[in-house]
């Protein structure tokens, strides 16, 4: 993958996707990888990332709608595999919204009192 134009050498998630940095991976697919968050905010907190490097959810949605759909589909599959029918999906887009790694990803949260309540 390192020769792929969608790989960013400075991106933490690109390095996880490429297997250069270890992670607790719960799913690997053609377009996505899912792994447990190192600072979980819920009993289940998994990050689902596209293999393709894009800086945020809006960018991946514009460039590759199928990859965006895969993020949501994989999140559902992981939630069910982990025993949850109810879950929350959160996309942070931009630093002002709390995004700290600028590689598109969705947070899958389930169980307990979930953060990020929308109202």
Task: Assess if residue 61 is contained within a domain.
Answer: yes
Range(s) of the domain holding residue 67: 12-110
Q: How many domains does the chain have?
A: 1
2 in a domain, yes or no? no
Does the structure show a pLDDT above 60 at 2?
Answer: no
Residue 6 domain flag: no
Write down the pTM of the prediction.
0.90
88 within 8 A of 112, measured Cβ to Cβ: no
Angle among Cα 59, 10, 43 to the nearest 5 degrees reads: 70
* CATH number of the domain within which 24 lies: 3.30.428.10
Q: Give the active site residue among 45, 53, 103, 105.
A: 105
Residues 6+ apart with CB under 8 A from 6: 51, 52, 53, 54
Q: Please say if 53 is a catalytic residue.
A: no
Would you call 30 helix, strand, or coil by DSSP?
Answer: coil
HEC letters along 93-109: CCHHHCCCCCCCCEEEE
21-80: pLDDT as tens digits: 999 999 999 999 999 999 999 999 999 999 999 999 999 999 999 999 999 999 999 999
């Amino acid at each position: 993958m390192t020769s792929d134009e969608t790989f960013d050498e400075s991106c933490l998630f690109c390095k996880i996707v490429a297997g250069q940095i270890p992670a607790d991976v719960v799913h690997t697919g053609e377009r996505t990888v899912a792994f447990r968050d190192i600072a979980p905010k819920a009993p289940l907190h998994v990050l689902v990332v596209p293999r393709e490097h894009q800086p945020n959810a809006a960018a991946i949605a514009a460039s590759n709608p199928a990859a965006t759909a895969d993020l949501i589909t994989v999140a559902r599959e992981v939630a069910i595999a982990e025993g949850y029918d109810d879950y929350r999906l959160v996309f942070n887009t931009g630093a002002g919204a709390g995004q700290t790694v600028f590689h598109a990803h969705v947070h899958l949260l389930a169980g307990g009192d979930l953060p990020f309540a929308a109202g």
